[in-house]
Chains A and B, each alone.
Chain A
Amino acid sequence: GAVVSQHPSWVICKSGTSVKIECRSLDFQATTMFWYRQFPKQSLMLMATSNEGSKATYEQGVEKDKFLINHASLTLSTLTVTSAHPEDSSFYICSAAGTPAYEQFFGPGTRLTVL
């Protein structure tokens, strides 16, 4: 299967700071990328869908001004958590899909801890 990487794999930051997480498709062009959040022992919750070159579509209840998503190229999407607070601590996972989008390939996840 295709490979998706995330960087960093874990990050600890202070409350009020911003954190950027990168998601890269290493061996295919991802026309669509998805960002999920997963709390301990829970399922994946879709935060937003992004298509290369266009604005992300956010799920209901996800603050677009807090979770900034940029999909500037067919191999890179970034999620920036602005003014992070302890309740934003979670496991953030991206996935990428090519064309046709029959499969989503998931990244290894980024563990964010906000102190």
Chain B
Amino acid sequence: QQQVKQSPQSLIVQKGGISIINCAYENTAFDYFPWYQQFPGKGPALLIAIRPDVSEKKEGRFTISFNKSAKQFSLHIMDSQPGDSATYFCAARSLQGAQKLVFGQGTRLTINP
């Protein structure tokens, strides 16, 4: 019940296209859903986050769509650029869980020029 399932494992998108990564969860106590971007040999960096009281959040080219009833959320990267090539992790946190983040398995995104 603590798991967050992320798909796909890897994704190749052409420059200028839309990259879409999906996550699903079971624990209804989760109340904070961040996405992290990680480049090789670096720590993850927060990209964008959403709370379950909104269905969508947009920051620049990055959008989170959240479906509370389906317990799913997704990251959309518009106008994908080669510099977006990285590994992306979704995560979820429950206020009941000592602020611990539960991470998805990660998606390796490659943007072809």
Q: Which A residues fall within an 8 A CB radius of B?
A: 1, 4, 6, 32, 34, 41-44, 46, 49, 57, 91, 93, 95, 97, 101-109, 111
Contacts and interface: CB of A to CB of B under 8 A. Distances in A.
A51 B44 CA distance: 21
B1 to A, nearest CB: 15
B43 A109 contact: yes
Contact of A44 (B32, B49, B103): B103
A57 B106 contact: no
A104 B101 CA distance: 9
A106 B101 contact: no
A43 B89 contact: yes
Contacts of B99: 32, 49, 97, 101, 104
A111 B41 contact: yes
A14 B75 CA distance: 42
A106 B45 contact: yes
Contacts of B44: 44, 93, 106
A106 to B, nearest CB: 4
A102 B43 contact: no
A103 B93 CA distance: 10
A44 B104 CA distance: 9
B87 to A, nearest CB: 8
Interface string B97-113: 01111011110100000
B61 interface: no
Interface in B63-109: 89, 98-101, 103-106, 108
B104 A43 contact: yes
B46 interface: yes
19 contacts: A6-B43, A32-B98, A32-B99, A34-B100, A41-B108, A42-B105, A43-B89, A43-B105, A44-B103, A49-B98, A49-B99, A49-B100, A95-B43, A103-B34, A103-B46, A104-B46, A104-B99, A109-B41, A109-B43
Nearest to B108: A41
Given A43-B104, A44-B103, A108 B43 contact: yes
